[in-house]
Structure 1
């Protein structure tokens, strides 16, 4: 007697056989929630928007802040997580305080994330935060 298993292939039809109703589609995992923006992206956007509003060049602001132009460019694009000293210098070069820069970034964060939180409900009040927490 042989212990060999039969060599039967399992066939999975691509279409339901004619005359038989199709099985309902399987429910997959829920769609992932939209990703919240990174803090470095928000701060970089605020820096770039303010620089462009003042019609200043990247070199001009970098020189005034005493940081390298490539590094400031990376910070504006959200590629680098800048220290508080670098952010304060860049903000000051633009005529802002560090608190002003961070408050604008926080406002942008609240604005962007309120789109995700309410799920489109009308009349629902978005959460408002009066404080800010930074970790270095």
Structure 2
């Protein structure tokens, strides 16, 4: 079987997962030693597969709620902000960074929650 035919067969076999993901707001999740941890929205995965990448059969994917991933990213960002602020305090740099947590319940009109980094006002 040629690679193109094999890739098409794999992508066709993913269609039920795409349908479920799109209906339920889930993302594709994959973890392996070679690739690490991958989270992909259905549209991003389709885009990557159209470029010949991430074409893995259904048994290599799980559908997961992306809010867990958002919380993980927020935790990592919080840790980096804290590390930055500790170093800034040690170096007597007056600017402090704050991480503002946005609404973690996406609605139908707004599907990509944002994390905004603000600088705290400095007092003299």
Do the structures match in fold with TM over 0.5? Answer: no
More RCO (CA 8 Å, sep 6+): 1
